[in-house]
Amino acid sequence: MLKPIELPYTRYLNPGGVPVSALPGWAADIPLLVQLYRQMQLTRLFDLKVVALQRTGRIGTYAPSLGQEAIGVAIGSLMRGEDVLVPYYRDTAAQLLRGVSMQEILQFWGGDERGNAYANPTAAEDFPLCVPIATQALHACGVASAFKIRGQARVAVTTCGDGATSKGDFLEALNLAGTWQLPVVFVVNNNQWAISVPRRLQCGAPTLAQKALGAGFAGEQVDGNDVLAVYDRLRVALEHARHGKGPVLIECLSYRLGDHTTADDATRYRPSEEVKQAWQEEPIKRLQTYLAAQGHWDEAREQALVTACQVQIQQALAAYEAAPAPAPQAAIDYVYKQWPQALAEQREWLLERAVRSQQAAGGVQHE
The residue ranges that bind Mg ion (CB under 5 A) are: 161-162, 191, 194
Pairwise CA distance, residues 351 & 336, whole Å: 17
Residue 104: closest CA among 123, 90, 77, 87: 123
Cβ distance to Mg ion smaller for residue 107 or 189: 189
Q: How many CA atoms lie within 13 A of 314 on its CB side?
A: 6
Give CA–CA dist 185/237, Å, rounded: 7
Using DSSP's 3-state secondary structure scheme, residue 194 falls into strand
**Shortest distance (Å) from residue 66 CB to Mg ion:** 13
Running DSSP on this structure, what letter comes out for residue 134? S
Rg of the chain over Cα atoms, rounded to whole angstroms, equals: 22
CB of 192 to Mg ion, least distance (A): 7
Catalytic residues: 256, 260, 269
Nearer Cβ to Mg ion (117/131): 131
Q: Is the CA virtual torsion 141, 146, 149, 150 positive or negative?
A: negative
Give the residue closest to Mg ion by C-beta: 161
For 166, residues 6+ apart whose C-beta sits below 8 A from its C-beta are: 194, 202, 203
* Contact (CB, 8 A) for 154 and 83: yes
Residue 144 C-beta: closest distance to Mg ion, Å = 24
Nearer to Mg ion, 184 or 253 (CB): 253
Shorter beta-carbon distance to Mg ion: residue 222 or 313: 222
What type of residue sits at position 192? Q
* In the complex, least distance from residue 189 CB atom to Mg ion, rounded to whole angstroms: 7
**What φ, ψ does residue 214 adopt, rounded to 5°?**
-65, -20
Q: In terms of CB distance, is 232 or 264 closer to Mg ion? A: 264
- Which of 134, 130, 101, 132 minimizes the C-alpha distance to 117? 101
Interatomic CA distance for residues 32 and 122, integer angstroms: 20
From start to end of the chain, where are the E strands? 9-10, 84-86, 156-161, 184-190, 193-194, 197-198, 218-223, 248-253
Q: How far is the CB of 112 from Mg ion (least distance, A)?
A: 27
Q: Tell me how far, at minimum, the Cβ of 160 lies from Mg ion, in Å.
A: 9
Q: Select 64 or 161, whichever has its Cβ closest to Mg ion.
A: 161
CA gap 65, 43 in Å, rounded? 8
